[in-house]
Structure 1
Amino acid sequence: MSHTATRRPGARGLESSASRFRERALARRRRPWLRGLAALVVLALVAGTGWLVGWTGALGVHDVEVVGVSGAEAAAVRELVDVPTGTPLVRVDTAAVETDVRTRVTVAEVSVRRSWPRTLVVDVVPRVPAIVVKNPQGRLEVVDATGVSFGSVDKAPTGVPVVTATGSRAMTPEALQAALALLRDLPSDLSDDVRSVTVSSADLVTFTLRGKTVVWGGEDESALKIRVLRALLTTKAKTVDVSAPDTPVTR
């Protein structure tokens, strides 16, 4: 009669299993601590980065770059940027800087942006002369297309028409808008040749064009006036009156 021997784990096998069990148990107990430590490290890094960016001069304003204008105008704009050197870029109130720069009358539009690591960029759109208004004292004021006067000149810039109010009266806002509307409505091939404009009232605007005096009238029916004017510019008349375009007059 044969007997089958029953194998039992040896001492070394039991010791090895117990060791692995203890290691797994220790690993399970260490995991929460490791996760907590990792979270603390991440928080420390975030806090350190926030402190570096927001509360030190490492990423602070060291340069102010003005784009869109140059020379004395750029220097004048830069003077309006009231941001102390070293102020963290992230803490600069760009809207407040834009408000300060807009106080300069020669500036039409402005936007301020951060250029990392240490530059504040001011993008400026300058006002462009549309007309030069001659006041009763003879002074020439430069005015943009929106009607804003932004400087005085001794001589009108090349290609910019001079607008004069009749008599000794100053230019009224209505008369000024009538002159601007005229130049806005005229196509560029005509407006580029306008050299002087006289405004008696908002309804009576006269200008010189290619050696002719053109009586324009007011802002109404501008499209029809332009068509009639083009036809009459080919005549030998010295004065062309299109203020009533259905019944134009030449002299």
Structure 2
Amino acid sequence: MRAALPWAVAGGMLALAGLVAWTLLGTGLFGVREVRVTGAELVTPVQVREAAAVPDGVPLARVDLAATARRIGKLPPVERVTVTRDWPDTLVVTLVERTPVAVVPQGDRFVVVDRSGVAFRTEPSRPADLPLARVARPGPADPETRAALQVLAALTPQLRAALVDVTVEGLARIKVRLTGERTVVWGDATRGADKARVATSLLGRDVDTIDVSAPDVVTFR
């Protein structure tokens, strides 16, 4: 009996481990009963649950968290997503949504883009709190979109307060239109801080056009 005792103990432990594994993976005792969503404002919890596509009652331990996060991450307003388990029966979805930084007119609608140029929302009218960027094909891979966002990020508070729009006619033909029918010829998106500083210093002048495309040699008229 002494010789058999270790084997009996080991067998009992294996049986217990098998029972636990079967309970977690093979039954609905610890199945998904709730998908809890936090951080959702641009999307609804219903949209998140539909994108997660996790059936009710599926064993919580069997849910592929990474795959679930990838499916939810395909929702355009979602920038980052984390999916975790909260035992015994809950999936917790934590979202970080995209932050709008500009709006691009497209036909009779307006596309909202984030800092990377990702278009994640379309509005029938222009959101009043977002600057206007005029580019032909908004998107994260579009060089003109990236240039427009780079210029917007460089603007001083004074320039932003007077901003009408940023127009990209080409990568070296960017213009910043201001109130009062004033135009700042920006050139390309490089040396943004220098161009913004020089343009700001000339806002008090009675001029229609300020050319800061070469910020060391500024012209205006």
CA contact (8 A) 1:159 1:195 kept: no
Matched, 1:155 2:115: no
Contact 1:178/1:203, CA 8 A, preserved across alignment: no
Kindly indicate whether residue 95 of structure 2 is the aligned counterpart of residue 127 of structure 1: no
Aligned partner of 1:198 in structure 2 is 167
Q: Does 1:207 align with 2:176?
A: yes
| Number of the residue aligned with 2:143 | 174
Within 1, Cα distance between the matches of 2:17 and 2:27?
A: 15
Structure 1's 70 and 175: CA in aligned 2 closer, same or farther, altered over 3 A?
closer
Query: Judging changes above 3 Å, is the alpha-carbon distance between structure 1 residues 143 and 232 closer, same or farther for their aligned structure 2 residues?
Result: same
TM-score by length of 2: 0.85
Please identify which structure carries the higher helix content: 1
Distance 1:190 1:45 in 2: 70
The CA deviation at 1:116 is: 1.3
Query: Aligned AA for 1:227?
Result: R
Between the two structures, name the one with larger relative contact order (CA 8 Å, sep ≥ 6).
2
The 2-side partners of 1:192 and 1:117 are apart by: 51
Unaligned runs of 5+ in 1: 1-29
| Amino-acid identity (%) | 38
Q: Is the 8 A contact 1:159 1:192 kept in 2?
A: no
8 Å Cα contact 2:148/2:189 also seen in 1: no
For 1:29-108, what aligned pairs fall within 5 Å after superposition? Answer: 30-70=1-41, 73-108=44-79
The CA distance in 1 between the partners of 2:207 and 2:218, in whole Å, is 12
Aligned partners of 1:114 and 1:121 also within 8 Å? yes
Gaps of 5+ in 2: none
- CA deviations 1:197-217 (Å, max 9, x no partner) are 222222122224575532212
Task: Give the TM-score normalised by the residue count of structure 1.
Answer: 0.76
Q: 1: distance between equivalents of 2:137 and 2:93?
A: 35
Give the distance between the partners of 1:162 and 1:214, measured in 2 at CA.
15
CA distance, structure 1, for counterparts of residue 60 and residue 45 of structure 2 = 21
The Cα of 1:191 is off from its aligned counterpart by 6.7
Aligned residues: 216
Q: Does 1:111 align with 2:82?
A: yes
- The one-letter code matched in structure 1 to 2:171 is A
CA RMSD of aligned residues (A): 2.4
Q: Which runs of 4+ in 1 moved over 4 A?
A: 209-212
Provide the rounded CA distance (Å) in 1 between the counterparts of 2:208 and 2:132.
Answer: 20
Whole-angstrom CA distance in 1 between matches of 2:37 and 2:54: 14
Shift of 1:95: 1.8
Change (3 A) 1:192 1:223: closer
Letter of the aligned partner of 1:149 in structure 2? A
What letter is aligned with 2:64?
A: D
Change (3 A) 1:182 1:71: closer
